[in-house]
Chain A
Amino acid sequence: MRRVDRTPETRAAIRASLAVALAVSLYGVSFGALAVASGLTIWQTCVLSLFMFSGGSQFALIGVLASGGASAALPAIVGAALLGTRNGLYAIRMSPIIGGPWWRKLLAGHITIDESTAVATAQPTREAQRIGFWWTGISLFVGWNLTTLIGAIIGNALGDVRQYGLDAAAAAAFLGLLWPRLTALQPVVVAVAAAVVAAVLTPTLPAGVPILIAALVAVVVGGFNLFVKREAK
């Protein structure tokens, strides 16, 4: 990549990138510990952070596996993939910013996630957007993988995780990923309805399936654009 001039905008982008990467990397520890608690080995846990590298999808996969084991294989994979669809949308938005040859987009693809897209799109200039994307993505990739390994080793040493409340920590982790998205009536209605649907169906359907049916709430509400204030439409 060509040499970048350090302007105030690009320096601010680098600072934002490192702050976000540091904060988010910290919860790689909880992912590592919870993944081992859900029955994965340390290696499997690390492979997820290396190759899947998308927090929501990773937590979803281990969440569904924890509730149903290997018999929940299909819902676990579909759930992780559905949570990964938004990365595809981020990629569409990032594509003109990244530019360049195909191999650069291929590399960018792997680090196209919530955080890199958010930092990039918050920058004022095209150059700062590009820098924000790469700095956030690469530093978070390094940090997230290191903390995943640390968490997996700690989780492995802990043994019976319920005694330490790690099952409650998993629920709290999903709540933490959800919380910043509850910014209007529509997302709140979807969240509450999906939570109720998932709980009500749990006793009657195989593990992992209720969560996929809960996802249909989003398709219905989003498709018809329900629960939006008239003037906001």
Chain B
Amino acid sequence: MNTWTIVLLASICVLVLKIAGYLVPPKVVEKPAPTRITALLTIALLAGLVSIETLGSGSQIVLDARVPAVLVAAALFALRVPFVLVIIAAAVVAALIRLWA
């Protein structure tokens, strides 16, 4: 599959899911289980992505400059520093460690 196909197929899937919600009777959201699973699904996917983006390198797990950068980011998010500043801080930490290493 080439990249354009991936981009377009994924976009169509996400768009269809949004619009499909308007066709569903509102009673479904009154049931707790689907709402709970969807919220947790978001959390599990994001957490998995944090882990793979921090530790993954191809099919290997490595500890490098990304680990301290993400720890700094976690500390800053805990201090309620705005998103963009945290992202920049994480990039700077990783870049400086690589520069000095």
Contacts and interface: CB of A to CB of B under 8 A. Distances in A.
Contact of A177 (B36, B46, B82): B46
Contacts of A168: 54, 65-66, 69-70, 73, 90-91, 93-94
B11 A52 contact: yes
B6 interface: yes
Contacts of A154: none
B42 A181 contact: yes
Given A175-B77, A179-B77, A218-B43, A210 B48 contact: yes
Nearest to A113: B18
A208 to B, nearest CB: 9
A165 B70 CA distance: 11
Contacts of B78: 179
Contact of A187 (B32, B33, B40, B93): B40
A89 B35 contact: yes
B13 interface: yes
Contact of A174 (B50, B69, B96): B50
Given A85-B38, A91-B18, A194-B43, A51 B69 contact: no
Interface string A52-75: 111011011101111100100110
B7 A86 contact: no
Q: Is the interface of B mostly helix, strand, loop or mixed?
A: helix
**Most chain A CB atoms below 10 A, which of B66, B74, B90:** B90
Contacts of A167: 53, 66, 94
A195 B47 contact: yes
Contacts of B53: 63, 66-67, 167, 170-171, 174
Interface string A26-48: 11011000000001110010011
B22 A165 contact: no
Contact of A196 (B21, B37, B51, B95): B51
A80 interface: yes
Contacts of B33: 222-223, 225
B18 to A, nearest CB: 4
B44 to A, nearest CB: 4
A217 B73 CA distance: 25
B28 A92 contact: yes
A108 interface: yes
A194 to B, nearest CB: 4
Interface in A156-182: 162-179, 181-182
Interface of A: 23, 26-27, 29-30, 39-41, 44, 47-48, 51-54, 56-57, 59-61, 63-67, 70, 73-74, 76-77, 79-96, 98, 105-106, 108-110, 112-113, 162-179, 181-182, 186-187, 190-199, 202-203, 207, 210-211, 214-219, 221-223, 225
